[in-house]
Amino acid sequence: MAATGEAVLDVRGLTRLYGAGCPDCLVLTGPDAGTNICPQCHAIVACNNISFDLEQGEILGIVGESGSGKSTLLRCICFDEEATAGECYFAAFGTGRDDAFSQTGQARRYIRNHLLGIVYQNPLMGIKPHFTAGGNVAEKLLTADVYNVSLIRQRAATLLQRTEVPLARMDDFPANFSGGMQQRVQIAKALANNPPVLLLDEVSTGLDVSVQARVLDLIKEIQRDLGIAMIVVSHDLGVIRLLADRTGVMQHGQVIEFGLTDQILEDPQHRYTQLLVHSML
């Protein structure tokens, strides 16, 4: 499904500081300063005034080295961390112009449960190893108010099958699964309620190459079939190339370059992006 022109997610000026911060933090850090630590107050500027929007069915790639703030960006959007400043609008929440960052915990929980799917790099952050694989998928459905056991089991079976988790293991505990299989359970869980926005943090990192390919194809398929918009954070340019329509490059907490993915990869403009691209294997 192609992007429709309607932004499902709109992020404006997202900023995240670790530490007290001072008035000059945002100016004294960034690619030009060569650091994300404020020389004055020693606060860490993980995300510095980041703005972008996301259309339905669009995949946005975020690349950058570790510590550049890309994971923090995702964690702020899904409320795992509180943004220090900035606004975030979900088309499907309220009037569409209600800032999600300034909502109550309960409203944020609603957004997270109904409008977001999250896949963490570490599968155990997204799934509970002592709930069954099916139970983990069920959790997501239950948070989204599906209260029918047979429906839940059907959907869980479909999703687990799609992510190549053997159905025979649906009622087993992910604690006993391999890392790759845990990751696939996590993806199945994230997709359970057909969220309009899916956040993927280094989703294929640490997976077998064979599994990685299948997972990436699955993500692409989901985008095409369900029109789910995604933010894919990865340091792997190969993953970004296969998945993302547009890509942003982050360094020292700032987005230094935004563009069509093939343009970022073949005609990078920024010094750091060129370094990144030319370091690609």
Interface residues with another protein (CB under 8 A) are 1-3, 5, 55, 58, 105-106, 108-109, 113, 128, 131-132, 134-136, 138-140, 142-143, 147-153, 171, 210, 213-214, 216-217, 220, 224-225, 241-242, 245-246, 258-260, 262-263, 265-267, 269-271, 274-275, 277-278, 280
Nearest-approach distance from CB 6 to another protein, in angstroms: 11
Look at strands 254-260 and 116-119 and give their pairing: unpaired
Sheet of 254-260, strands arranged across: 116-119, 197-201, 229-233, 59-63, 246-251, 254-260
Provide the token pair at 272.
Answer: 């750091």
Nearest-approach distance from CB 173 to another protein, in angstroms: 10
- Give the nearer residue to another protein in terms of CB position, either 162 or 270: 270
Nearest-approach distance from CB 15 to another protein, in angstroms: 24
- Give the nearer residue to another protein in terms of CB position, either 21 or 31: 31
* Contacts (Cβ under 8 Å, ≥6 apart) of 130: 173, 175
249 with 64: CB under 8 angstroms? yes
- Give the nearer residue to another protein in terms of CB position, either 34 or 105: 105
69 with 31: CB under 8 angstroms? no
- Give the nearer residue to another protein in terms of CB position, either 19 or 259: 259
- Give the nearer residue to another protein in terms of CB position, either 27 or 275: 275
Nearest-approach distance from CB 145 to another protein, in angstroms: 10
Nearest-approach distance from CB 174 to another protein, in angstroms: 13
Nearest-approach distance from CB 72 to another protein, in angstroms: 21
- Distances in Å between the alpha carbon of 47 and those of 24, 72, 113, 132, 137? 14, 7, 24, 36, 31
Nearest-approach distance from CB 49 to another protein, in angstroms: 20
- Distances in Å between the alpha carbon of 83 and those of 29, 31, 50, 132, 264? 17, 21, 11, 33, 27
- Give the nearer residue to another protein in terms of CB position, either 16 or 246: 246
Report which residue type is found at 77: I
- Give the nearer residue to another protein in terms of CB position, either 92 or 213: 213
187 φ/ψ angles, rounded to the nearest 5 degrees: -65, -45
